[in-house]
């Protein structure tokens, strides 16, 4: 009986962990969240070839993001094509998008609507 009980509690603990990991209880380290006028992270690090998950939650705002400086899109060699678009990518509340960073480097992602809205993506090989 004791073994069965331990097995049952063990499975329950595993199920709880899986639920926490999968359902937003904890944010994954490759996630960038947008508030009304600011990224909620200042820096994120990922391996080359993996995606950064950009999330504009229902409580967020309208954003146009790209690789750049200040409120200017400035294309950078090695950056994702989507973020090198001179017009940027628009997000509205509730949008999310996975953007793969193919090449090692350091990329400043800015919002051209909101001065100072910036996150540094460090991509390691
Ligand atoms: Cu913005």
Span 15-33, pLDDT tens digits: 444 444 444 445 778 999 9
CA 124/CA 44 separation, integer angstroms: 11
CB atoms within 10 A of CB 19: 10
Considering only the top CATH level, what class is 29-124?
mainly beta
Burial 105-120 (b: 16+ CB within 10 A, else e): bebbbbbbebeebbbe
51-90 residue pLDDT tens? 999 999 999 999 999 999 999 999 999 999 999 999 999 9
- What residue ranges do the domains of the chain occupy? 29-124
From the list 49, 48, 45, the residue with the least C-alpha distance to 30 is 45
> How many A from CA of 123 to the centre of ligand 1?
22
Q: Which residues surround ligand 1, an ion (CB under 5 A)?
A: 63, 111, 113-114, 117
């Amino acid at each position: 009986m004791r073994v069965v009980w331990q097995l049952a509690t063990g499975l329950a603990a595993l199920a709880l962990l899986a639920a926490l990991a999968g359902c937003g209880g904890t944010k994954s380290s490759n996630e960038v969240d947008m508030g009304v006028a600011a990224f909620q992270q200042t820096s994120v690090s990922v391996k080359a070839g993996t995606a950064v998950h950009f999330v504009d939650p229902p409580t967020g705002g309208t954003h146009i993001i790209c690789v750049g400086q200040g409120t200017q899109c400035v294309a950078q060699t090695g950056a994702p094509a989507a973020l090198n678009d001179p017009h940027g990518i628009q997000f509205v509340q509730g949008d999310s998008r996975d953007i793969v960073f193919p090449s090692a480097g350091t990329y400043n992602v800015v919002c051209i609507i909101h001065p100072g809205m910036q996150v540094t993506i460090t991509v390691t090989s």
